[in-house]
Structure 1
Amino acid sequence: MTAKKAVILLSGGLDSATVLAMAHADGYECYALGFDYGQRHEAELLAAQKVAKGLGAVEHKVVKLDLRSIGGSALTDDAIEVPEEETSGIPVTYVPARNTVFLSIALGWAEVLGAQDIFVGVNAVDYSGYPDCRPEYIEAYEKMANLATRAGVEGNKLAIRAPLMNMSKADIVTKGARLGVDYSLTVSCYQALPDGAACRRCDSCRLRAAGFAEAGLQDPTVYVP
């Protein structure tokens, strides 16, 4: 019997690593997809490579994009500082339309591979207020995907799967640990050093640390002294 294929959006962070492990455990033949989009924290690209190899991805593809050319985010514009205190509303670390762009390319690759499932690690519980991490967005995108593709039109329904959507960061860490995810390979920090050392102060670092603490598990993150 031929294994079912899935495209997994893999950033190199904690959430996407957990999603890859979950898809693999569910019997999918996993094709990991990452993006070199001009992000400030390039250490995540190396992390993604290690995670993909460690969790048995069949292939790990990195697509180069230039979102830095339009800017508009602290992650793609060095003139905008990464906030180190909690803020209200949509934070400056939101990258305009990032998930829409990423999912579009994942959708194209899924069609080429004959994969009917795309996995993404968005989360509506412990997240930073990004509009493209909500369940309404995922539902709308899946509907669009089946209207706009040959696969969908010909009856091979495509599914956008977001298994972390309603999980807390502690739940995610616990699930991943049970599946054997080596979180020491992952990088979550918005302003990580080239070697992956995390700042400890940004929103992503705080959420990650709180998740490990609440789960009662040791945080393997290497932090800047």
Structure 2
Amino acid sequence: MTTGPGTSFTVIDVTPEPYAVTPTLTARIGVSVAGDEPVHAIALRCQIRIDPLRRGYSDDEAAALTDLFGPRERWATTQHTFLWQHCAAMVPGFTDTTEAVLRLECTYDFEVTAAKYLHALRSGSIPLQFLFNGTIFTAGQHGFSVQQIPWDCEDRYDMAVSVWRDLIGQHYPNSGWLRLGHDTLAALSAYKSARGHLGLDDAVTELLAQAREEVR
């Protein structure tokens, strides 16, 4: 954890939100502002990044990450910290310390780099970096006093891969999302109907089986 002068933020835990309509993680953040003066509120913003260099990868994970980073021998130059998402919250008044809650709305769209990375992981942890900024409101001589959260307030958190898998399994059990062009989708739908399949999944499975046979 890095702290600014008198201000610090610590990630306590990150867990799935059980009653959310869409995939959402809840991050509990410990907040500390030094001094005896009460804080009226904090307009908290956070950038959450993934730092892939902070963990190792199995051969299966490395194969699944080829689209993102290339072959393993190139990872020293291709693996860099990348953005996962932005989030924000209003922290109500407190003195000295409190806890804040950040809602992390997640996507399972494989066109998104973070979703592709997270899907590739089988076990271990997801190396996250939380970069905090925003505005602190305290009492002043003429109403409120405003100060910015120091630029170097950040924290690292290793979220278990199982947390992500539980979240996705809760909303998309044994399934995922794949975006296709209109022409491709129309052709696939026509193939499904012509072959008498009940769903697009069956059509894709058959096409993949045919492709494997051709390779042999």
> Which has the greater radius of gyration?
2
Is the TM-score greater than 0.5?
Answer: no
Question: For this structure pair, what is the TM-score category when the shorter chain's length is used for normalisation?
Answer: under 0.3
TM-score by length of 1: 0.26
